[in-house]
Amino acid sequence: MSTPTKNGPAGLAPLTTGSVMRHVIVMSATGWIGLVAIFVVDFLNLFYIAQLGQQELAAAIGYSGAILFFLLSFAIGITIAGTALVARALGAGRPDDACRLAASSLVYMGGFIGVITLLLWPLLGEALTLLGATGITHGIAMDFLRIVLPAMPLLAVGMALSGVLRAAGDARRAMHVTLAGGLTTAVLDPLFIFGFGLGITGAAIATILSRVVLFWVGWHGAVTVHKLVARPRLADLITDARPLSAIAVPAILTNVATPVANAVVTAAIARFGDSAVAGYAVIDRLIPLAFGGLFALSGAVGPILGQNLGARLYDRVRRTLTDCLIVTTIYTIAVWAGLFLLADHVAAVFGVTGEGAELVRFFCRISAGSFIFVGALFVANASFNNLGFPMMSTVFNWGRATIGTMPFVWIGAAHAGAIGAAGGFALGSVVFGALAVVYAYRVVGRIGAPAATTSQRGG
């Protein structure tokens, strides 16, 4: 079995010493760069396709993105499980267990996403119809997905490798994984779309090649450099499937709630025409770029919580939650201010007009502020997943996706069209984000209480 290299002053668990806020900022910043690189793939596809001047193409990318994000949500859930278990093992000083768990998580990821991809393949047409795609837009989206979908397992395993690197506290190499994929797309997208004249087919090909690069860089960092992945063994896979599933299944259910909620909003907006759908597609790509720091923060908090939980440093666990919420608030306010000022420019750059342009401007000026609470929900979910309460993240995310989405979106759409639907979605996020944070602090208090009691008795 491979033995991982030491990393940082604390050896195998560098996140258990030093400033918690510094760890939060470093892990989040590097995670943000890497995570945004994943979404840059979709963003650049939409940007370059928009330059072709055919609104149906942009709408097709929007519908395709909703389906791909559904699969990505499964991958994120499994990555959360692998990262949490590897980080805990390292924090507890059990490197051999960390290597074994890393290997099992990669096999688990590849097999699970491969099966889901196969099951989804014959249902693509029905899925697009359910989302509201029709006519030419439906056909274009089908062509794009048929090329891109088979490469999803490769992207998923690459994400899992990045998670292993984060679990070890190697924020820089974890960043390199997804950054490499984004840079590949930045170079190849214009080449295939315009240079070779392949249009949306070229965008799909560039996406696949970017995933190949992402996987290779992750493999090099986790396996070659850190030696953090043992050789998979069937007995280990069977043994590790249970703890992985205990976190992955609730995390998957948690993450699937987001695309389900997005699908509800997309379907509601589709009633107002391709212009509105194209506008929402722009918002869908703008969110990861503008608020990628919040997505990264939820990924960064996991290894910090995991290592400190493994080392039984409960005060640092609570401090991590507080510092993450501080960073979330400051970051969101800064981004919101920038979007407010650039609202008209964003709509113009992507060529959306009419109701689609109004929808983009509304998001930039009003509903972007709700991401203070969306970010708080992300942080709370990460806390639940890494501290042994994964079902609570499922409860809060599905609460947001159902009670916090459907009635708000339907009422908003009925009274204010596409803008009302988007506004309703934002309002539901405020309610459930606030509730999740309150409960997250209760969970941290519950974990630390036995340790505090033992300490008092010892004194």
pLDDT level of residue 453 (50, 70, 90 thresholds): very low
For a pLDDT cut of 90, what percent of the chain falls above it?
34
Between residues 239 and 45, the one the model is more confident about: 239
Does residue 13 surpass a pLDDT of 80? no
The residues, any chain, with a CB within 8 Å of residue 216's CB and separated by 6 or more, are 180
At residue 217, the pLDDT reads 95
Is residue 450 packed enough to be buried (19+ CB in 10 Å), middle (13-18) or exposed (0-12)? exposed
Task: Give the integer Cα–Cα distance in Å for 302 and 382.
Answer: 6
Does residue 452 surpass a pLDDT of 60? no
pLDDT, mean of residues 363-380: 92
Task: Give the integer Cα–Cα distance in Å for 306 and 83.
Answer: 8
Long-range pairs of 391-396 with CB within 8 A, sequence gap ≥ 24: 391/250, 392/439, 392/443, 393/250, 393/251, 393/254, 394/250, 394/251, 394/253, 394/254, 394/257, 396/254, 396/432, 396/435, 396/436, 396/439
Domain ranges for the chain = 18-447
Which H or E element spans position 264? helix 234-270
What pTM, to 2 d.p., does this model score? 0.75
Range of lowest pLDDT (58-62, 81-85, 353-357): 58-62
Does residue 7 surpass a pLDDT of 60? no
Q: What is the mean pLDDT of the chain?
A: 85
For a pLDDT cut of 70, what percent of the chain falls above it?
91
Rg of the Cα trace of the chain? 21
At residue 35, the pLDDT reads 67
Task: Tell me the pLDDT tens digit for each residue of 210-221.
Answer: 899 999 999 999
pLDDT level of residue 12 (50, 70, 90 thresholds): low
Among 110, 377, 394, smallest CA distance to 249 is for: 394
At residue 103, the pLDDT reads 96
DSSP states along 393-435: HHHHHHHHHTTTTHHHHHHHHHHHHHHHHHHHHHHHHHHHHHH
At residue 326, the pLDDT reads 94
pLDDT, mean of residues 369-373: 93
pLDDT, mean of residues 77-88: 90
Does residue 417 surpass a pLDDT of 50? yes
Task: Tell me the pLDDT tens digit for each residue of 113-145.
Answer: 999 999 999 999 999 998 888 888 899 889 989
Does residue 147 surpass a pLDDT of 80? yes
Q: What Cα–Cα distance (Å) separates residue 338 from each residue in 328, 332, 346, 422, 453?
A: 16, 10, 11, 20, 47
CA atoms within 13 A on the CB side of 210: 30
Q: Phi/psi zone of residue 53: left (φ > 0), alpha (ψ -120 to 50 degrees), beta?
A: left
